[in-house]
Chain A
């Protein structure tokens, strides 16, 4: 029998991988994918709570998270494409016009 702890452990491993991706990679699109991985790890933990409690509220929260993630993907990629058009790069080390 797979316990709740197994799912939560898997979820924290995925979250840690997403954090590594955001901190180490310099390509804006890869950072974006790592953020999606972290979203998914949180969805997984919410659904495992929902399933092991026999309560559907966690799944509704995940539903809204997926909706907001879709909106975030559209806006985020539009920003990345606008950045590429203006600066010619997606390397976040070179996008530093707000850095003093």
Chain B
């Protein structure tokens, strides 16, 4: 009988990968957005399994609450949902398959030939206080720069989408 965490890992991994495949394969852009939503939820659950509670919440709030709503607005502004999906010419499938298989084989090769340095994970320790301390001591400058990046992106997005 496998452990509960193992069963949960397989369930969430299956959800994530299955919906990710739907994202890239379905003809309807709206189905694709909804599948991305499920896939991102699966990844948030995997973050919880890895004891990254703060980032699981951040993932749900930023990706699902922010980016996905923005994406659905983008879909509704750019395509009519009943429209036929843009056709892909068949020529691009073969190089794409070669390229992707190459990347995948390299990643798996590196994964199994590297001796990863790992300890046994510490159980039941909250990460929020650790992240907060690190963000306001060692990583203050990147933290402030991130706020400036977000401000500039906001202003830039408004500039782009405004009518001339």
Q: Which residues of chain A have a CB within 8 Å of any CB of chain B?
A: 1-2, 4-10, 12-21, 23-27, 29-30, 32-34, 36-37, 40, 43-44, 47-48, 50-54, 56-57, 59-60, 62-64, 66-75, 77-82, 84, 90-91, 93
Nearest neighbor of B160 in chain A, beta-carbon distance: A78
Q: List 8 A-B contacts (CB under 8 A).
A: A17-B20, A27-B85, A29-B71, A29-B75, A29-B79, A56-B130, A78-B158, A81-B160
Question: What residues of B have a CB within 8 angstroms of the CB of A13 in the complex?
Answer: 17, 104
**Does chain A have a CB within 8 A of B81?**
no
**Is the contact region of chain B dominated by helix, strand, or loop, or is it mixed?**
helix
Question: What residues of A have a CB within 8 angstroms of the CB of B122 in the complex?
Answer: 54
Report whether B121 and A16 are in contact in the complex, using a CB–CB cutoff of 8 Å. no
Work out how many contacts link A and B, with CB atoms closer than 8 A. Answer: 218
Q: A7-B50, A44-B43, A62-B55 are in contact. Are A37 and B78 (CB under 8 A)?
A: no
Report whether A60 and B131 are in contact in the complex, using a CB–CB cutoff of 8 Å. yes
Report whether B71 and A63 are in contact in the complex, using a CB–CB cutoff of 8 Å. no
Question: What residues of B have a CB within 8 angstroms of the CB of A6 in the complex?
Answer: 9, 13
Nearest neighbor of A52 in chain B, beta-carbon distance: B118
Nearest neighbor of B159 in chain A, beta-carbon distance: A78
Listed residue (A25, A52, A90) with the most chain B CB atoms within 10 angstroms of its CB: A25
